[in-house]
């Protein structure tokens, strides 16, 4: 079967079984093309809460599908490839946060959305990379602990200097792998290009950038800018998606290391097989108890309240 034939069959099954496909922007082109909603973590969590389809099929990593389930507990939420997790989301155990809270009870805990539901359950508010500065600024408390990404946390610290924000050592192994020398080399190779970087990269990388923002922020910036060349410092699929959308501009990858193997594990055939399996027990459904949902949702609801 050709890619186009598989895509057409997915579109047919989607209609027949009332499936909404949500795809993170780091997914492959052929998946993005058949998705109902594409975006960064914040956009997808809002989209998940608004859809009225009976079934949601998530193409991304486990914590994203879990978040979609928490926002749509009455719907069936599936993950297209059951084996796909995010290493950052698994980095911290709730006991670490509980110990900090015991020693410093006034400190509110801000959790990046890239965390498990059991970790979210002991945190006060969630943020995504596109909403972190806005939400932290909007919080009335000044003493905060930001987990797990110390690079995103450092970016927030710099943007909201009047707050006392404590960090723990954690982060995205993919973005953190970018070296500041790679930025200098990319600039030397493409002197007319603007450097657009994700805040999950190290401060030594972000401080050399022309723009620092979430996946959607980077895409919007590149599309609206009058500049013609860009060095993209986030998962390399973004450079490819932008090249399709802006054929008159040029996009270069900042580093060959920014490839998320987890995001690349979902294939178009996984999406097709999940669509076939939905309704007959052949797809991987996210199952959470009402108690698990209730305890982790508090900080997601707080994010939606403060994020607008």
Binding residues for ligand 13P (CB under 6 A): 40-41, 86, 114, 128-130, 172, 200, 214-215
Rounded distance between C-alpha atoms, residue 138 and residue 148, angstroms: 20
Contact with ligand SF4 (CB under 6 A) among 87, 94, 180, 277? 87
If one asks whether residue 88 binds ligand SF4 (CB under 6 A), the answer comes out as: yes
Cα–Cα distance measured from residue 116 to residue 121, given in angstroms and rounded to the nearest whole number = 9
Which of the ranges 14-22, 81-89, 101-109, 127-135 carries the binding residues for ligand SF4, by CB under 6 A?
A: 81-89
Given ligand SF4, ligand 13P, none, residue 87, with its beta carbon under 5 to 8 Å by kind, binds: ligand SF4
Is 119 among the residues that bind ligand SF4 (CB under 6 A)? no
Site membership for ligand SF4, residue 172 (CB under 6 A): yes
Handedness of CA 210, 215, 219, 224 (dihedral sign): negative
Residue of 45, 114, 116, 131 interacting with ligand SF4 (CB under 6 A):
114
Q: DSSP character for 193?
A: P
**Torsion region of 18: left, alpha or beta (phi above 0 gives left; psi -120 to 50 gives alpha):** left
Residue among 174 and 278 whose Cβ is closer to ligand 13P: 174
Q: Which is nearer to ligand 13P, 13 or 156 (CB)?
A: 156
Cβ distance to ligand SF4 smaller for residue 127 or 278:
127
**Chosen residue from 19, 22, 212, 260 binding ligand SF4 by CB under 6 A:** 260
- The CA distance from 307 to 43, in Å, is 11
Which residues partner with 227 through β-bridges? none
Question: CB-wise, 182 or 200, nearer to ligand 13P?
Answer: 200
Interaction of residue 174 with ligand SF4, rule CB under 6 A = yes
Exactly one of 20, 34, 79, 86 binds ligand SF4 (CB under 6 A); that residue is 86
Please report how close the Cβ of residue 243 comes to ligand 13P at its closest, in angstroms. 19
Query: Please, which residue, 212 or 296, has the CB nearer to ligand 13P?
Result: 212
Told to check if 197 binds ligand SF4 by CB under 6 A, we report no
Contact flags string 24-63 toward ligand SF4, x per CB under 6 A: -------------------------------------x--
Binding site for ligand SF4 (CB under 6 A): 61, 86-88, 114, 172-175, 235, 260, 262-263
């Amino acid at each position: 079967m050709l890619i186009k034939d598989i895509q057409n069959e997915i579109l047919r099954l989607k209609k027949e079984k009332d499936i909404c496909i949500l795809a993170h922007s780091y997914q492959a082109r052929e998946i993005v093309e058949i998705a109902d909603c594409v975006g960064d973590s914040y956009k997808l969590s809002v989209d998940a809460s608004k859809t009225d389809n009976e079934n949601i099929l998530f193409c991304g990593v486990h914590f994203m599908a879990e978040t979609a389930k928490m926002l749509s507990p009455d719907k069936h939420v599936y993950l297209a490839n059951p084996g796909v997790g995010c290493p950052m989301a698994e980095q911290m155990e709730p006991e670490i946060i509980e110990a900090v809270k015991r020693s410093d009870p006034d400190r509110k805990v801000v959790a990046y959305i890239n965390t498990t539901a059991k970790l979210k359950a002991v945190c006060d508010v969630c943020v995504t990379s596109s909403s972190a500065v806005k939400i932290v600024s909007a919080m009335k408390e000044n003493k905060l602990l930001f987990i797990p990404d110390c690079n995103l946390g450092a970016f927030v610290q710099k943007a909201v200097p009047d707050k006392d924000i404590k960090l723990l050592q954690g982060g995205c192994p993919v973005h953190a792998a970018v070296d500041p020398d790679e930025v200098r080399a990319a600039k030397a190779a493409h002197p007319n290009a603007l450097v657009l970087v994700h805040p999950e990269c190290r401060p030594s990388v972000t401080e050399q950038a022309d723009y620092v923002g979430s996946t959607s922020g980077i895409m919007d910036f590149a599309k609206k800018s009058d500049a013609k060349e860009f060095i993209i410092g986030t998962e390399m699929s973004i450079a490819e998606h932008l090249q399709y959308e802006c054929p008159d501009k040029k996009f270069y990858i900042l580093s060959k290391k920014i490839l998320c193997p987890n995001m690349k594990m979902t294939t178009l055939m996984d999406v097709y097989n999940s669509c076939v399996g939905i309704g007959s027990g052949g797809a991987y459904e996210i199952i959470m108890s009402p108690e698990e949902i209730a305890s982790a949702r508090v900080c997601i609801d707080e994010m939606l309240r403060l994020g607008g």
